[in-house]
Amino acid sequence: MIFPRPARLALVALLLASIVWPAAPAHAFLDRILPGTDTKDEFDGRFIDTLTPGAWKPPLEAAMQEAAEKSSTSSATFSFGGGGDASGSTEQKVEAKDVSQPEFEQISGMTMLRMDERGIVALPVLDAYLAGIARRLLEHSPIRGAPIMIYVTASERYGEAKALPDGTIAIPMASILQADSEDELAALLAHEISHVLRGHHDLDWFEQRQGNLVSGAELMLGLASGLAQQIGKGNEMAAKAARILIVAEAAMTATSKGLFPSWTREHEDEADLLGLDLLIAAGYNYDGMFALMQKMEEAELVEASKPDPYQEVRKALEEEIQLQTSQGNIGGALGNVLQAATLEFSTALDRASVDHRSATDRLESIRDYFDREYADEIPPAMTSLPLEQVRKSKEFMEFAEAYRDASTALDLAEKGDLPAAEKAARSAVSGPYNNHAWTRYAFYKVRLEQGHRDRAMQNLELALNDPYVPLSVYKDLEQLNRKAGSMDSAARVLASAWEEFQRPAALYPPLIHHHLRKGEKARAQELAIECAFKNREVAKICRTAAEGRDPDMARTQNWLQALR
C-alpha cells in the first residue's frame, strides 16, 4: 500500500517524534523512583558501631539455603510436551536444584577477575604493600576473619575497583599510578573491604545470577516448547529441560515474593561510611577519602563527555524509518520505531541501574557524615613515602613502563597510526613482561589491525604463558584458529578455557558451533538451554549459534539485530 506524499511526511514526523520523545520522560520517571534516603540519616552515631561484632560469615550460604527451602516447597508444575503430564515432582525438583547449585558458588574471585581482558598484575612488592594496608584497616573491624585477597588489575580506569563474593578485591593499576598518597589508596581499599565485611557483593552477585535464571526461564519457555515438538516428551534431554524449567520457575517465584531485594545504592553508601570509619580508626588521614571521591568525580565527568555509543544506531534507525516509510513499508517502519523506543528506554534503565549515586552526591554525603561524627578529629599527616618507595622499585617501574607502552600501542592502533603502534607494542614486550597477558594482547591487537593474522595468533599463544591469562586470550585464539580453518586447534583452545574458567557464558556460542560442526545437534541444543540461564544477552547469541549460524557473526551484531 502506497501512501500519498503528505501522509508519508506526516507519518515520518510522527515516527521520528516517537523516537525522540520517550527518552526524557523515561529518564525523569526513573529519576523520581530512585531511592532518595541518605543512609547516614537512618541511624545515630557512627556506622561502624551499628555492626554486630563476631566472625565473618558469607551471607550467600544462608541465602542459598533459604532459596532451596522455598523452591522445594513450590507447588507449581510445568507441562512439557503435548500430553499435559506434570513434570514437577519433588524428585525432579530436588535433582534440578542440585544440578543448578554449582552455578552460584564455585566460581572463585580470581577466576572472575580473569574474565577481564586486561588481566592481573603480579608484582610481589605491590601485593605485599597492599596486603599491609588491608591488615591495618581490618585490625579495627568488629567483624573478624574476612578472607580478604587483593589483586591489581591492568585496568586504566581509576575507579574500577571491585569486591567479589569470596573476599577477592581488585584494585586497578590506574589507581596505583594516580594516587597521591597511601591515605588515598587506603580509602579505596577501606571502601571495598567494607563491601566484603557487610556481605554486599555476596548478595548482589546472587541476585544477579538469580536475575539471569529468571530471564533464562522466560527465554526458555518458547525454546522448550519448540524442542518438545521436535523430540517428543519421552526423550531424556526433554526431561532434563523440564527439570531446568522447574528451577527457573522457583527462582521467578522467589523474585516475585521479594526474597532477595537489592538496595545496591544503599550498599554503596554503607561502604562509604564504614570505609571512612575504618580509615580514621586505622590512623589514616581522612582527606584520603575526600581525595578519592574527588578523583572519582573527575573520572565520571570524563566518562560523561564521551560520545554517545548509540548515536550511529539512532541515526541509522532514523534513515531506515524514512526509507521504509517512503516505500510504503509501514510494517518495517513501525518495527524500527519499536526498536528505537526500546533503545531509549534501555538507555534510561542502564542509567537507573547504576549501583551508586554520583561521586558528587557521595562526596557531599561523606562530608556531612564527617562533620557530624568527626568534626573534632585531628588528622595525622598524609602518608606518601611508602607509596613512592613502591612505585620507585625496579619491578614496579619495569611493569609500569610496559603497561604504558601497551596502552599507547592500543591507542595509536585505534587512531590508525600502525607504524607508531607497532613500535610501542615492541617496546612493551621487550622487557621482563614480554609474555604478560596485557602486553601480548596489545601487540595482538596491533598485528590484527595490520592484517597479520599469523603474527597476531603468535602473540596470543605467548600470552598463554601468563599464569593469570584472561579469558579474552582464549576466546580470540579460538576465533583466529576457527577462521583459519584449524578447527581441531580451535576446539582444543576452547576445551582448555571451558574447564579452566568453569563453563563461562561467553564460551557457549563457539562451543555450540563446534558441536553442530561435528553433527552433535542434541548436545548443541542442550548447551543452548544451559546458556539461557547464564546470561540474558549471551542467550540471544546462543540461540543463533544453535540455529547453525556463525557465532562470531551473531556476537558482532548489535543488540537491535539480535532482538529480531
Residue 325: how many other CB atoms lie within 10 Å:
24
Q: How far apart are CA 235 and CA 431, in angstroms?
A: 58
| Tens of pLDDT, residues 545-562 | 888 887 765 454 433 333
Do 81 and 19 lie in a common domain? no
Distances (CA, A) of 15 to 3, 343, 345, 388: 15, 14, 16, 59
Do 16 and 118 lie in a common domain? no
| HSE (side-chain half, CA atoms, 13 Å) at 402 | 23
Q: Would you say residue 96 lies in a domain? A: yes
CB 383 within 8 A of CB 285: yes
Grid cell 588515598 is found at 184
Q: Would you say residue 382 lies in a domain? A: no
Q: How far apart are CA 219 and CA 469, in angstroms?
A: 33
User: Measuring CA to CA, which residue among 376, 399, 406 is closest to residue 122?
Assistant: 399
Do 132 and 228 lie in a common domain? yes
The domain tally of the chain equals 3
Domain boundary among 283, 300, 317: 300
Q: Would you say residue 380 lies in a domain? A: no
CB 269 within 8 A of CB 362: yes
Q: How far apart are CA 285 and CA 70, in angstroms?
A: 47
Confidence at residue 332, expressed as pLDDT on a 0 to 100 scale: 56
Q: Would you say residue 371 lies in a domain? A: no
Q: Would you say residue 391 lies in a domain? A: no
User: Measuring CA to CA, which residue among 29, 18, 15, 20 is closest to residue 349?
Assistant: 29
Q: How many helices and strands, by DSSP H and E, does the chain display?
A: 28, 6
Do 17 and 113 lie in a common domain? no
Q: How far apart are CA 341 and CA 20, in angstroms?
A: 8
Confidence at residue 196, expressed as pLDDT on a 0 to 100 scale: 92
Confidence at residue 357, expressed as pLDDT on a 0 to 100 scale: 74
Confidence at residue 556, expressed as pLDDT on a 0 to 100 scale: 42
Q: Would you say residue 390 lies in a domain? A: no
What's phi and psi for 171, nearest 5 deg?
A: -115, 125
Q: Would you say residue 372 lies in a domain? A: no
Cell of 206: 546472587
Provide the residue range defining the domain that includes 229. Answer: 39-300
CATH code of the domain in which 422 resides? 1.25.40.10
Do 322 and 228 lie in a common domain? no
User: Measuring CA to CA, which residue among 554, 507, 558, 553 is closest to residue 530?
Assistant: 507
DSSP letter, residue 50: G
Do 11 and 69 lie in a common domain? no
Do 183 and 295 lie in a common domain? yes
Do 292 and 416 lie in a common domain? no
Do 154 and 51 lie in a common domain? yes
pTM of the model as a whole? 0.72
Tell the burial category of 562 from Cβ atoms under 10 Å away from its Cβ (0-12, 13-18, 19+). Answer: middle
Do 12 and 107 lie in a common domain? no
Q: How far apart are CA 524 and CA 530, in angstroms?
A: 10
Do 505 and 433 lie in a common domain? yes
| Tens of pLDDT, residues 34-85 | 445 688 888 899 999 999 999 998 766 656 665 566 555 544 332 323 333 3
Confidence at residue 111, expressed as pLDDT on a 0 to 100 scale: 87
CB 530 within 8 A of CB 563: no
- The DSSP string of 322-375 is HHHHHTT-HHHHHHHHHHHHHHHHHHHHHHHT-SS--HHHHHHHHHHHHHHH-T
Confidence at residue 531, expressed as pLDDT on a 0 to 100 scale: 81
Reading phi first (left if > 0) and then psi (alpha if -120 to 50, else beta), residue 232 is in left
Residue ranges for the chain with pLDDT beneath 70? 1-37, 59-106, 117, 201-264, 306-322, 324-325, 328-356, 533-537, 552-564
Do 27 and 135 lie in a common domain? no
Q: How far apart are CA 323 and CA 335, in angstroms?
A: 13
| Tens of pLDDT, residues 323-345 | 766 776 655 555 554 455 444 44
Confidence at residue 537, expressed as pLDDT on a 0 to 100 scale: 66
Q: Would you say residue 385 lies in a domain? A: no
